[in-house]
Structure 1
Amino acid sequence: MNGIQDTTATAPMAAQTPPPVSDFDPFSMDFFRNPFPVHEYLRNLGPLIYLSAYDVYAVARYQEVHRVLHDWETFCSSRGVGLSDFAKEKPWRAPSLVLEKDPPEHDRARQVLSKILSPVTMKKLRESFQAAAERKVDELLARRSIDGITDLAEAFPMSVFPDAIGVPSEGREHLLPYAGLAFNAFGPSNELRNEAIAKASPHIAYVTEQCQKHNLSPTGFGAQIHAAVDTGQITAEEAPLLVRSLLTAGIDTTVNGIGAAIYALARFDDQWDALKAEPQLARAAFEEAIRFESPVQTFFRTTTRDVEIGGHVVPEGSKVLMFLGAANRDPRHWSEPDTYDIRRSASGHVGFGSGVHMCVGQLVARLEGELILGALARKVSRIRITGEPVRAFNNTLRGLKSLPLEIE
Structure 2
Amino acid sequence: MADVPTTEFDMFATSDPRTRYEQYRALRELGAVVRLREPDAYVVTRYAEVKAALADHDSFISGEGVGFNPMVNEFSRGGTLTSDPPEHDVLRSVVATGLQPRAMRLRSEEIAQKARELVAEVVAKGEIDGTAELAQAMPMSFLPDFLGLPEHDRERLYEWSSTGTDTFGPVTERTPHNLEIGAHFVQYLTDLVANRDIPPGTLASAVFEAADEGVIPTEKCPLLLGDYIGPSMETTASAIGHLLVIFAERPDQWTALRAEPGLVASTINELVRFESPFRGFTRLAARDAELGGVTIPQGARVWPLVVSANRDERKWERADEFDFRRNPLDHLGFGHGVHGCAGQGVARIELHALIHALLDSVERIELTGDPVIAENSWFNTYDRIPIRLVATKAA
Q: TM-score range by the shorter chain?
A: over 0.9
In the alignment, the residues of structure 2 paired with residue 396 and residue 211 of structure 1 have an alpha-carbon distance, to the nearest angstrom, of 28
Q: CA separation of 1:319/1:335 partners in 2, compared to 1, >3 Å: closer, same or farther?
A: same
Partner of 1:27: 12
> How far apart, in 1, do the equivalents of 2:232 and 2:194 lie?
18
User: Residues 245-256 of structure 1 correspond to what in structure 2 (within 5 A)?
Assistant: 245-256=227-238
Which aligned pairs between 1:147-166 and structure 2 lie closer than 5 A? 147-166=129-148
Instruction: Determine the structure 1 residue equivalent to 2:102.
Output: 120
Whether contact under 8 Å (2:287, 2:299) holds in the other structure is yes
Q: CA-to-partner distance for each residue in 1:171-214, whole Å, 9 max, x for gaps?
A: 11221111112211211111233331134333332243235562
Q: CA deviation at 1:90?
A: 7.1
Report whether the alignment pairs 1:396 with 2:378: yes
Residues 79 and 302 in structure 1, CA contact (< 8 A), matched pair in contact too: yes
2:43 alignment partner, SS class: strand
Given that 1:133 and 1:372 are in contact with CA atoms closer than 8 Å, whether structure 2 keeps it comes out as yes
- Give the structure 1 partner of residue 280 of structure 2: 298
Q: Hey, what does 1:36 align to over in structure 2? A: 21
**Equivalent residues in 2 for 1:189-268 (5 A)?**
189-212=171-194, 214-268=196-250
Question: Deviation of residue 225 (structure 1)?
Answer: 2.4
Distance in 2 (CA, whole Å) between partners of 1:51 and 1:320 is 10
The gaps in structure 1 that reach 5 residues or longer are: 1-15
Is the 8 Å Cα contact of residues 148 and 204 (structure 2) preserved in structure 1?
A: yes
The answer as to whether partners of 2:164 and 2:182 remain within 8 angstroms in 1 is no
Q: Kindly provide the amino acid, as one letter, of the partner of residue 248 in structure 1.
A: G
Which residue identity does 2:24 align to in structure 1?
A: H
CA-CA distance at 1:32 after TM superposition:
5.1
Q: Does the C-alpha gap of structure 1 residues 20 and 31 become closer, same or farther in structure 2, counting only changes over 3 Å? A: farther
Q: Which residue is equivalent to 1:308? A: 290
TM norm structure 1: 0.91
Q: Deviations over 1:59-111 (max 9, x none)?
A: 110011101000000000011111145xxx67463424210000000000111
Please show how residues 111-190 of structure 1 align to structure 2 within 5 Å.
111-190=93-172
Q: Deviations for 1:273-300, whole angstroms, at most 9, x for unmatched residues?
A: 1221122322322221111011101211
* CA distance in structure 2 between the aligned counterparts of 1:215 and 1:310, rounded to whole angstroms: 48
- Secondary structure at 2:151 match in 1: coil
Q: Which sits farther off after the overlay, 240-249 or 378-387? A: 240-249
Contact 1:302 1:317 in 2 (8 A): yes
2:332 and 2:78 mapped to 1: Cα distance? 20
Given that 1:261 and 1:285 are in contact with CA atoms closer than 8 Å, whether structure 2 keeps it comes out as: no
Q: Residue 356 of structure 1 aligns to which amino acid in structure 2?
A: V
Q: Which amino acid is the alignment partner of residue 65 of structure 1? A: V
Match of 1:282 in 2: 264
2:307·2:333 contact (CA, 8 Å) conserved in 1?
yes
Give the match for residue 69 of structure 1: 54
Tell me which residue corresponds to 1:8: none
For residues 23-65 of structure 1, give each alpha carbon's deviation from its aligned partner in whole angstroms, at most 9, with x where no partner exists.
0011111665631111110000011111112121111100111
- Aligned residue for 1:407, secondary structure, equals strand
Contact 2:64–2:74 (CA under 8 A) maintained in structure 1: no
CA distance in 1, matches of 2:212, 2:181: 36
SS of 1:405 mapped into structure 2: strand
Partners in 1 of 2:191 and 2:257 — Cα distance? 42
Change (3 A) 1:292 1:72: same
Aligned ranges for residues 72-83 of structure 1 at < 5 Å? 72-83=57-68
- 1:57 is paired with a residue of what secondary structure? strand
Structure 1 equivalent of residue 340 of structure 2? 358
1:54 paired with 2:5, answer no
Q: Note the C-alpha offset of 1:404.
A: 0.8
Aligned-residue CA RMSD (Å)? 1.7
- Counterpart-to-counterpart distance in 1, 2:263 and 2:352: 8
Matched, 1:344 2:326: yes
- Cα separation, 1, equivalents of 2:153 and 2:369: 31
Match of 2:315 among 323, 333, 336: 333
Letter in 2 for 1:57: Y
1:299 is paired with a residue whose SS is coil
DSSP 3-state at the match of 2:374: strand
Deviations 1:111-146 (A, max 9, x none): 122222100111111111111101001111111111
TM-score (norm 2): 0.94
Given that 1:192 and 1:394 are in contact with CA atoms closer than 8 Å, whether structure 2 keeps it comes out as: no
Structure-2 residue corresponding to 1:10: none
Residues 375-400 of structure 1: per-residue CA shift (max 9 Å, x gap):
00111111111111111011100011
- The superposition leaves residues 216-272 of structure 1 with CA deviations (integer Å, 9 ceiling, x where unpaired) of 122311112211233332232223321211001211111101111121111111221
2:28 is aligned with what amino acid? R
3-state SS in 2 of match to 1:369: helix
1: CA distance between counterparts of 2:158 and 2:303? Answer: 25
Q: For the structure 1 residues 351 and 212, does the alpha-carbon distance in structure 2 shift closer, same or farther, using more than 3 Å as the test?
A: farther
Distance 1:304 1:119, change over 3 A: same
